[in-house]
Copies of this chain bind each other. A is one copy, B any other.
């Protein structure tokens, strides 16, 4: 357990380093504390031995270790209110009744990204809890048609179908069959339902049933596979941070942004309802970043929003922003 003074010093060091991105010297601290730099140095040495601080070289000031950041986040960080500008800019988005939920989320995270210079991520899973509401077909010309699929949550998918030598009526019969028998089924169960409920009887109603059946089967297969959506906003903000002022590091991070599996892993850990913080090695994305994320749940949709920045992140500010956005989305 750390003493009161050690807490104070660690907190000052973390805050100073977050702000200035420069190793913190004992002098800087003793100005703000009523004791000499030698005393601070002694305490810093203890804090380093305990693993909360690090040096960049033998005679440098101290920077927080990952353990140091973790301790700061868990015990020392103060909750700061959103400032007026942040609040206002976001509120304009949330008050706009015109916007669809997905637009609200994207736009609000765009704002956060612009204001904080961090990168934000939206991960949402569409098909999972969506049930088939209606399917319809619009013919485009003799051989082509568009299949439209709408779910009970208003999610829409469409697909071009090219079927040569098939009459439109046959297709419409199939659609009617599906609408009669399959509506209400969760999207990712539709294709198996097609197989067991529709396939056996489609021959009675539809002539070229095989070709048409396969086409629709594929459409639904595609749709349930397409569920995961990854939206990364403000990638270029990576350039703005001192710790990424190295072309190889930037490339490294950009390639991770493009790695869907890595990005989706953000969603995986901690399925709880809080805001989670993963500092450095604690996340599976990159040792040099911190990921702050939360899950949201609405009647339409659920997903994850996350903010990615350097470990030297404005933790308090980001946590507040994320918390506020989460609450507004769920409202």
B-binding residues in A (CB < 8 A): 97-98, 100, 133-134, 136, 138, 140, 144, 146, 148, 150, 152-154, 156, 158-160, 162, 218, 235-236, 239, 245-247, 250-251, 254-255, 258
Contact = CB atoms under 8 A, between A and B. Distances in A.
Contact of A138 (B138, B150, B218, B247): B150
25 contacts: A97-B162, A98-B218, A100-B159, A100-B160, A133-B140, A136-B136, A136-B148, A140-B150, A140-B152, A140-B153, A140-B154, A146-B150, A146-B154, A146-B156, A148-B150, A156-B158, A235-B254, A236-B251, A236-B255, A239-B250, A239-B251, A245-B247, A246-B247, A247-B247, A247-B250
A9 to B, nearest CB: 34
A324 to B, nearest CB: 23
A160 B154 contact: yes
A148 B154 contact: no
A258 B245 contact: no
Quickly give the copy total for this chain. Answer: 2
Interface of chain A: mostly helix, strand, loop or mixed:
mixed
A94 to B, nearest CB: 15
Contacts of A146: 150, 154, 156
Contacts of A245: 247
A148 B156 contact: yes
Contacts of A218: 98
A161 to B, nearest CB: 9
Contacts of A255: 236
Given A100-B159, A144-B154, A156-B156, 8 more contacts: A97-B162, A98-B218, A133-B138, A138-B150, A239-B247, A245-B247, A247-B250, A250-B250
Contacts of A150: 138, 140, 146, 148
Question: Of A98, A146, A154, A255, which is in contact with the most chain B CB atoms at under 10 Å from its CB?
Answer: A154
A102 to B, nearest CB: 9
Contacts of A235: 254
Given A247-B247, A255-B236, A138 B144 contact: no
